[in-house]
Amino acid sequence: MSVNVLMPALSPTMEKGNLSKWLKKEGDTIKSGDVLAEIETDKATMEVEAVDEGILAKIVVPAGSNDVPVNQLIAIIAAEGEDVSKVGTGSAPVAAAAAAAAAAPAAATLAPAAAAPVAAAHAPQTVSGSKVFASPLAKRIAKDGGLDLSRVTGSGPHGRIVERDVRAALAGGVSAPAPKASAAPVAAPAAAPAPAISDDQTRKLFTPGSFDEIPHDGMRKTIARRLTEARQTVPQFYLTMDCEIDALLKLREQINASAPKDKEGKVSWKVSVNDMVIKALALALVRVPDANVTWTETAMLKHHHADVGVAVALPGNGLITPIIRHADTVTLSGIALAMKDFAARAKSRKLKPEEYQGGTTAVSNLGMFGIKDFTAVINPPHSTILAVGAGEQRPVVKNGALAIATVMSVTLSCDHRAVDGALGAELIAAIKVLIENPMSLLV
């Protein structure tokens, strides 16, 4: 009996993924645990392991296929001794595949290599495409409001979409149907809200041949969607403060000079200014707990710990924000080690979803590029993000006299629904106090 291999859901929010590479060919013998394929999700590349044994009879979705819906049939594994030629005769890749999946609802045949969160366990449902779990009322309100439920994340039991999710999505304008006057294809699987002008119109603004087209990868689409949503739905305001960091730089030098060395004389960790800013932000949130919150439509989630996301730039273009959990309780060396690991794995796109989803705030640092001051876009569910500029020597006035100090400007973006002006000011003041009195980062 052959087994259908379905596109797995590698994270609770994953709806589609790109099948970037097959590591097995048709006809290969498959053992349980073998890596079959690599799948590129929103933000990471994940390996897909086989659960069943047999022979890879048919690759239904070829490598390089983009936007393959979760639960779509991607391959068929024939049992040992089964006539491979009789398996998966359909050659039309997608339509036939869906039918095959419908005809023989397979048991879960795939397990993501990384410990996949909840959704994967529930993933393979019956039929083609992605089955949406929603309450009858949620379905009706979504239908009346023209909302595509596949783009709504459910907050009910087992991720079921309930009324409040649909109301929130409609209020947030997640998918107001594209205005009819626009030439935009209405039914396009809008990763971002419908643009004002169509892609074709945009292309026509440039001379043909004067540009190359690079298709969006999952990460680019996610960045576009999430940050557009954030800008459109989160009322943001910005607070800037100058912090003197001479004491912090000195302390950092002492800390790094005393770092333990291994036999070859290599230091086991090195604390960066950014690590210290992460710690300062986390401790500031503990000192100003009212700002350590997440907005939801029904309630404010007041967090017990500060989970700080750190924006990591990827080679070329791209960005991911791994989270230092409970950063308020992690030591500076712990943060340094975690960041080193995160940065390395982020660059090879090997972070697991649970390592970059969630968080209560974030740090974005462009100081190394000489940027003096900038504002960063809040990445929900965070309520704040701290944009960190370069530390540079600047003239300052001290006791009525001109002096030189190393100054770093930081700008806090705040979600006004959750953090009001005075509270944001209190938070950034607490950050400044911690940065300028860096010994408190060690306590």
Partner 1 sequence: MSDAVYDVLIIGGGPGGYVSAIRSAQLGFKTALVEREHLGGICLNWGCIPTKALLRSAEIYHYATHAKDYGLTLNGSMSVNVADVVKRSRGVSQQLNGGVAFLMKKNKVDVIWGEAKITKVGEVSVGKSTKPVVEPQNPIPKGVLGEGVYKAKHIIVATGARPRVLPGIEPDKNLIWTYFEAMVPKTMPKSLIVMGSGAIGIEFASFYRTMGADVTVVEVMNQILPVEDAEIAALARKSFEKQGIKILSGAKVLGVKKGVDSVTATIQDEKGATTEITADLLISAVGVVGNIENLGLEALGVKTDRGCVVTDGLGHTNIAGIYAIGDVAGPPMLAHKAEHEGVICIEGIKGLHVHPMDKLKIPGCTYCHPQVASVGLTEAKAKEQGYTTKVGRFSFIGNGKAIALGEPEGMVKTVFDAKTGKLLGAHMIGAEVTELIQGYVVAMTLETTEEDLMHTVFPHPTLSEMMHESVLDAYGRVIHA
List, by residue number, the catalytic residues: 416
141 belongs to the binding site for partner 1 (CB under 8 A): yes
> Which residues on neighbouring strands pair with residue 96, listed in sequence order?
none
Which residue in the set 137, 183, 197, 442 belongs to the binding site for partner 1 (CB under 8 A)?
Answer: 137
Shorter beta-carbon distance to partner 1: residue 161 or 320 = 161
Q: Burial of 369 by CB count in 10 Å (0-12 exposed, 13-18 middle, 19+ buried)? A: exposed
329 belongs to the binding site for partner 1 (CB under 8 A): no
Q: Judged by CB under 8 A, which stretch of 83-91, 100-108, 140-148, 382-390 contacts partner 1?
A: 140-148
Q: Provide, rounded to whole angstroms, the least separation between the CB of residue 141 and partner 1.
A: 6
| Cβ count within 10 A of residue 344 | 11
Which residue in the set 162, 192, 314, 337 belongs to the binding site for partner 1 (CB under 8 A)?
Answer: 162
Which residue in the set 125, 135, 236, 240 belongs to the binding site for partner 1 (CB under 8 A)?
Answer: 135
Q: Provide, rounded to whole angstroms, the least separation between the CB of residue 156 and partner 1.
A: 8
Nearest-angstrom CA–CA distance, 104 and 232: 43
Shorter beta-carbon distance to partner 1: residue 141 or 234 = 141
Shorter beta-carbon distance to partner 1: residue 155 or 182 = 155
Q: Provide, rounded to whole angstroms, the least separation between the CB of residue 26 and partner 1.
A: 42
163 belongs to the binding site for partner 1 (CB under 8 A): yes
Binders in 293-312 for partner 1, by CB under 8 A: 298-300, 302, 304
Which residue in the set 150, 155, 198, 272 belongs to the binding site for partner 1 (CB under 8 A)?
Answer: 155
Which residue in the set 27, 95, 121, 144 belongs to the binding site for partner 1 (CB under 8 A)?
Answer: 144
Which residue in the set 253, 289, 341, 437 belongs to the binding site for partner 1 (CB under 8 A)?
Answer: 289
Residues that bind partner 1 (CB under 8 A): 135-138, 140-141, 144, 155, 157, 162-163, 289, 298-300, 302, 304
